[in-house]
Amino acid sequence: MSTQAPLRPIPVDDRAWLLPALADALRGGAPVLPVAPDLGDDEVRRLQAASLPAETAVLVRTSGSSGVPKAVALSAAALIASAEATHEALGGPGQWLVTLPAHLISGLQMLVRSQVSGIEPVFFDGPFDAEALLAAAERMDHERRYVSLVPVQFGRLLDLAEGDPAAADTLRGFAAVLVGGQAISLAMRQRAHELGVNLRRSYGMTETAGGCVYDGVEIGDTRMRIRGGEVQLSGSCLATGYVEGAGEAAGAQALTDERFVEENGTRWYRTGDAGELLGGMLTVTGRLDRVIISGGVNVSLDEVERVVRELPGWSSAVALGAPHPEWGERASLVVETEPGAVSLDEVRATVKQQLGAAAVPEWATETEALPRLAGGKPDIASIERWIAELRQTFRQTRQ
């Protein structure tokens, strides 16, 4: 069954249109497509021509961090359930400082939470700057203040707060600082604790209407399980499924059937993440598809990143697989230049000690700035293309 009302594509920077349209969609009105600045007209028209599930309130494209972006249909019920579960987990409704773009589920959910609570959000505009963001926080007028960030943003705020007592006071003034989108290093968690910042670690994705596991524990009616090493989630927050343009619906339906499975009357989402449940708490160890085979040994690139990012000066490291004539594949690293970084030899020794010889990075490439997606995640596809070009150039110079 399809919706009767046509999809409304609305630029995310047009808040005068987006906010009332979102409110209408949550009440059962026409579904909304938040349009990113770089989304082409052809793609918008393709999505407008798509057949949407009848309950669709918002169509959100994934960030594409693990492949080609997908269009996800979310119902009003799923979005509202997520918002209410978040406020329950954080101690009650409050005012959100909107720091992330609304075409991403992390940014959109701050708007949904604001709609559900009836508390006007405060917007932070422009390129990320730690001082400017904390200045925007001074415009907040509610007793409970919330902000949602990605790790790279939170890290820069901690850098500022550690040297500026006034900035630290402002950061501590948030009832919760929700950080998600990527793994948060133990070192970053320790820094937040020492500053007295109420960090809450969020795990979720577009297909779960945003974060549905906080600090390893489910919120709302979310349930977790591990099957074949994969994290699977269920609950009211699950998306309806994937959507594609006319003539491609079969592909979208096949993907929906593959990722959303029903068992004994319960619908589960297969996240594609590897994880463990220890004492009822979830630990995500990486992507199942981010594994290389080095000398016959499976090596998780996400685990390599986790270990390396704990070391001084390597917090931005991205691990990639690289062909190797003897081992088949070896891990390699790309990292933003940071002062006080330990040597690559020390990095290699630490990885060997914790993960074994097969996981030791073969080499590392430094850069001033990694390509990043809109939400702050490293753009793995762009980084891989860049490194491939570097390798090709190197081979040509040696001929």
The per-residue DSSP string of 68-89 comes to: S--EEEEEHHHHHHHHHHHHHH
According to the per-residue pLDDT averaged within each range, which of 53-67, 122-136, 241-255, 316-330 is highest?
Answer: 122-136
b vs e for 271-290, b when ≥16 Cβ sit within 10 Å of the residue's Cβ?
bbbbbeeeeeebebbbbbeb
DSSP-assigned states of every residue in 372-387:
B-TTS-B-HHHHHHHH
- Can you give the pTM of this predicted structure? 0.80
Distances, alpha carbon 101 to alpha carbons 11, 113, 219, 369, in Å: 11, 15, 24, 21
Confidence band, pLDDT 50/70/90 cuts, at residue 1: very low
pLDDT tens for each residue of 174-209: 999 999 877 788 888 999 999 999 999 999 999 999
- pLDDT tens column, 111-126: 999 999 999 999 998 8
When pLDDT is cut at 50, 70 and 90, the band that residue 399 belongs to is low
User: Are 365 and 335 within 8 A, CB to CB?
Assistant: yes
Estimate to the nearest angstrom the gap between the alpha carbon of 93 and the chain centroid. Answer: 23
pLDDT digits (tens, 9 = 90+) for 262-300: 999 999 999 999 899 999 899 988 888 888 888 777 788
What is the mean predicted confidence (pLDDT) over 14-37?
A: 95
Domains plus CATH for the chain? Answer: 8-282 (3.40.50.12780), 290-398 (3.30.300.30)
* Residue bearing tokens 């990113």: 36
pLDDT at residue 169 in the model: 96
Task: Choose among 277, 310, 320: nearest CA to 186.
Answer: 310
Q: How confident is the model at residue 3 (pLDDT cuts 50, 70, 90)?
A: very low
- Crossing angle of the two packed helices 76-90 and 15-26, in degrees rounded to 10: 100
